[in-house]
Amino acid sequence: MTSSTSTDPAVLVLEDGTVARGTAYGARGTTVGEIVFSTGMTGYQETLTDPSYHRQIVVMTAPHVGNTGVNDDDPESHRIWVAGYVLRDPARRTSSWRSRGDLADELAEQGVVGIAEVDTRFLTRHLRELGVMRAGIFSGDDLVRDGVERDVAELVAEVRAAPPMAGADLAREVTTAEAYTVEPRGLAEGSDPVATVVAVDLGIKTMTPVRLAERGVRVHVVPQSTTVDEVAALLPTDAPAGVFFSNGPGDPSAATAEIDLLRGVLDRRIPFFGICFGNQLLGRALGYGTYKLAYGHRGINQPVMDRTTGKVEVTAQNHGFAVDAPLDSVSTAPYDDERADDVRYGRVIVSHVGLNDQVVEGLTALDLPAFSVQYHPEAAAGPHDSAYLFDRFVDLMTTREPVTVPASALALLADGSGEKEN
Ligand SMILES: NC(=O)CC[C@H](N)C(=O)O
């Protein structure tokens, strides 16, 4: 039986000079990144392997982590992406019929530096009050040299030398090297797919194309560097087809190549659905701004209202940036001013709103077949309330018409009272 616990010292240092001492967990060494907290009580393997966490050190607010070990079914990509892992109380023994190993061993094998036995409640409150920031975890020879622990000031300097998340263009670092296809499931022998989708991999999670394939959709997952002509060449012109932009790491304001690609898609009136990073990129392609939230939303119980139906869903989220678009009115895509008449993007609404803090959680174009949400309908991990969004995308591809927004829902926005609905 392996044991996750160690007594080797490790130190977590924040860029503001805050220091937390604990024990080494996973690989020994140094890691620096942006420190963020995740409130999910389940799904640690899905969190660790979500490419959106590239260059982020994740603090788990759930105190007890590692209980079910690691298995080969739950990873959402081919590797662990978090830059570091911060825990309160690691499981001393793993116990699950699916487990094939111990979480600490897995982190060590993949070279991911972690720290355990840290006061994660204090850390989370600190980040909630001051906002996320850069941090580093130091252990092993990188912490103790010739029997002496390194000076904290030296460690803080190392943290402050790390690049900030704002301005980071990272999707190209996590995207697939080669295109691949996820075939539709459950179709009768010989029947055509319900639709064909090109999914641009900006950090896609494994379950996302699967959710489309479960609806009979064929999904071509392509690298971030794919051009709009290459995208169009993969799509049938005489059958339902669309483009999907995935979640992904980094700052949407730095994703110039992706925004250009998306404008090419919108100009051709190809039905579009984006999630998370994809929502931020739709926002930017339409001409809205994005901004960095103080501490973001990361967890699996974030309430959101779909204003097109008035329904509230509980969602899985992982984002540090958000779209800046008018919450309570129908607006015209700001980028329209620079466009020829035949490629105007037209009217847009904030179709989904976060109920904790009124952050934009989704956009719907009224004159284009395009919509997006800031969260994770693939629900890996998380509740399945948002599965309807994949059906909405299939409808969009079938009709090639904008999402139908009932007049009653639009009226609430037109008179500026959308927020009162909450
Ligand atoms: N999960 C995501 O796609 C995250 C998007 C973006 N990197 C953010 O932090 O907001």
Predicted confidence at residue 177, as pLDDT, reads 97
One domain, residues 237 and 349: yes
Q: Residue 198 — very low, low, confident or very high, per pLDDT cuts 50/70/90?
A: very high
Atom 3 of ligand 1, residue of closest alpha carbon: 247
Atom 7 of ligand 1, residue of closest alpha carbon: 249
Q: Is residue 267 part of a domain?
A: yes
Distance 271 CA to ligand 1 centre (A): 22
ipTM of the complex: 0.97
pTM value is 0.96
Q: How far apart are CA 144 and CA 141, in angstroms?
A: 5
Distance 399 CA to ligand 1 centre (A): 30
Atom of ligand 1 nearest to the CA of 246: 3
Distance 321 CA to ligand 1 centre (A): 6
Query: What pairs with residue 352 in β-bridges?
Result: 306, 362
One domain, residues 199 and 286: yes
Q: Is residue 86 part of a domain?
A: yes
- DSSP conformation letters of 232-245: HHTS-SSS-EEEEE
31 exposed, middle or buried (CB, 10 Å; 0-12, 13-18, 19+)? Answer: buried
Q: Which residues line ligand 1 (CB under 6 A)?
A: 52, 247-250, 276-277, 318-321
Q: Is residue 2 part of a domain?
A: no
Question: Domain ends where: 116, 141, 160?
Answer: 160
Question: Domain ends where: 160, 192, 227?
Answer: 160
Q: Is residue 215 part of a domain?
A: yes
Predicted confidence at residue 2, as pLDDT, reads 47
Q: Is residue 125 part of a domain?
A: yes
Could you tell me what percent of the chain has a pLDDT over 90? 95
Is residue 416's pLDDT more than 70?
A: no
One domain, residues 121 and 207: no
One domain, residues 178 and 244: yes
> Regarding beta strands 241-245 and 272-275, do their DSSP bridges make them parallel or antiparallel, or are they unpaired?
parallel
Q: How far apart are CA 115 and CA 333, in angstroms?
A: 45
One domain, residues 191 and 143: no
Q: What is the mean pLDDT of residues 297-308?
A: 97
- 214 included as an active-site residue: no
Q: How does pLDDT run across 26-56, given as a tens digit for each residue?
A: 999 999 999 999 999 999 999 999 999 999 9
Predicted confidence at residue 1, as pLDDT, reads 40
Q: Is residue 414 part of a domain?
A: yes
Q: Is residue 165 part of a domain?
A: no
Residue to probe by mutation, ligand 1, list 56, 81, 276, 376, most atoms within 8 Å of CB: 276
Name the catalytic one among 54, 220, 297, 376.
376
Name the catalytic one among 126, 258, 276, 319.
276
Is residue 418's pLDDT more than 60?
A: no
Q: Domain of 152? A: 9-160
180 exposed, middle or buried (CB, 10 Å; 0-12, 13-18, 19+)? Answer: exposed
Residue to probe by mutation, ligand 1, list 56, 201, 277, most atoms within 8 Å of CB: 277
Return phi, psi of residue 404, to 5°: -80, 120
One domain, residues 175 and 304: yes
Distance 154 CA to ligand 1 centre (A): 31
Q: How does pLDDT run across 90-128, given as a tens digit for each residue?
A: 999 999 999 999 999 999 999 999 999 999 999 999 999
Angle between helices 256-267 and 277-286 (to 10 degrees): 70
- 34 included as an active-site residue: no
Number of folded domains that form the chain? 2
One domain, residues 87 and 236: no
Q: Is residue 363 part of a domain?
A: yes
Question: Domain ends where: 137, 160, 183?
Answer: 160
One domain, residues 283 and 135: no
